Amino acid sequence: VIGHPKYQQSKRIAIFLSMPDEIQTEEIIKDIFKQGKECFIPRYKPHSNHMDMLKLSSAEDISSLTLTSWNILQPSDDDSAREEALAGGGLDLIFMPGLGFDKKGNRLGRGKGYYDTYLERCMKHPSGKPYTIALAFREQICESVPVAENDVQVDEILYEDC
């Protein structure tokens, strides 16, 4: 990931905070700050498909986040001090989680459509749609995954031995 040309070129990067069954992103987040890039993480709104990408001030800032009922760390609902990526300069790159992927770039998420809805919003931003890279385990690569009309394909899937 760290040697990837898109990562190297990107200044404003959104990345998920890993759940135990996902690729662990902590070292990538540390590198984002080490390289002087801006880091944004998801804040999901419960009972909806709305998500914002909010700016982290440092890798240590993660310890100040609250744990949701889904066991995900994220900025609290009343945290209004953080920059939302689309309220500023948009994003260059989004690292995306998922349960399954196929080699056509289709992604099976957890069923709420948070990333698809967010990418639709990105497309309306002056900076346009960011490049998307899914981070996966080899076992998550399938022949095909079910897709719906509003699903947005990822630009690239990175996994071991790819």
Q: Which CATH class is domain 5-158?
A: alpha beta
To the question of whether residue 54 is assigned a binding role by annotation, the answer is no
CA dihedral 16, 21, 23, 27 (to 10 degrees): 70
The DSSP call for residue 4 is: -
pLDDT given for residue 142 in this prediction: 95
- Rounded-to-integer distance, Cα 134 and Cα 157, Å: 5
To the question of whether residue 120 is assigned a binding role by annotation, the answer is no
pLDDT given for residue 77 in this prediction: 86
Question: CA dist 60 to 14, 18, 38, Å?
Answer: 16, 15, 14
CA dihedral 81, 15, 125, 150 (to 10 degrees): -120
Q: Taking residues 13-21, report their average pLDDT.
A: 93
To the question of whether residue 114 is assigned a binding role by annotation, the answer is yes
pLDDT given for residue 90 in this prediction: 96
Q: Which residues pair with 157 in a beta bridge?
A: 134
**The residue to which tokens 């900076």 are assigned:** 127
To the question of whether residue 115 is assigned a binding role by annotation, the answer is yes
To the question of whether residue 138 is assigned a binding role by annotation, the answer is no
pLDDT given for residue 156 in this prediction: 97
pLDDT given for residue 162 in this prediction: 56
**pLDDT band at 70, cuts 50/70/90?**
confident
To the question of whether residue 17 is assigned a binding role by annotation, the answer is yes
- Rounded-to-integer distance, Cα 15 and Cα 149, Å: 25
Q: pLDDT per residue over 32-51, tens digit each? A: 999 999 999 999 988 888 99
Q: Taking residues 101-113, report their average pLDDT.
A: 90
To the question of whether residue 107 is assigned a binding role by annotation, the answer is yes
**pLDDT at residue 14 is higher than 70:** yes
